[in-house]
Structure 1
Amino acid sequence: MRYFFQSAPIIGVLVAALALGGCSAVRLGYNSGPTFTYWWLDSYFDFDGAQSLRVRDDLQTVQDWHRKQELPLLIRQLKGLRAMAPKLVTTEQVCGVVSELQTRLRVTLEGVVPTIAAIAPSLQDAQLEHMLQEFERRDQKWREEWINGTQAERAQRRVKQIVERAESFYGPLKATQLTIVRDHIKASSFDGPRQMQEMQRRHQDALQVLRELRKTKANPAKATTELGSLLERSLKAPDPAYRTYWEKITTESCAAMAALHNSSTAEQRTRLAQTLLDYEEDARALASQSPASLEQTSTTVAPSSAL
Structure 2
Amino acid sequence: MTAFTVRIPPVSTALDTALQHKIDTKTKPLGALGRLEALALQIGRVQQSLTPRLSQPQVVVFAGDHGIALEGVSAYPQDVTWQMVMNFLGGGAAVNVLARDQGLAVQVVDAGVNHDFGEVPGLVHAKIAPGTANSAVQPAMTSEQAVAALERGRALMREAREQGCNVVAFGEMGIANTSAASLLLHKLAEVPLDVATGRGTGVDEAGLQRKQAVLARAAARTGALREQPLQALAEYGGFEIAMMAGAMLGAAEAGMLVLVDGFITSSAMLVASRLAPEVLGYAVFAHQSAERGHQAMLQAMQAQPLMMLDLRLGEGTGAVLAYSLVRAAVAFLNEMASFESAGVSNKD
Same fold per TM (> 0.5)? no
Q: Which has the higher helix share?
A: 1
Q: Which one has more relative contact order, counting CA pairs under 8 Å at least 6 apart? A: 1
For the superposition of Structure 1 and Structure 2, which TM-score range results when normalised by the shorter chain?
Answer: under 0.3
Q: Which has the higher strand share?
A: 2
Task: Please give the TM-score of this superposition, normalised by the length of structure 1.
Answer: 0.28
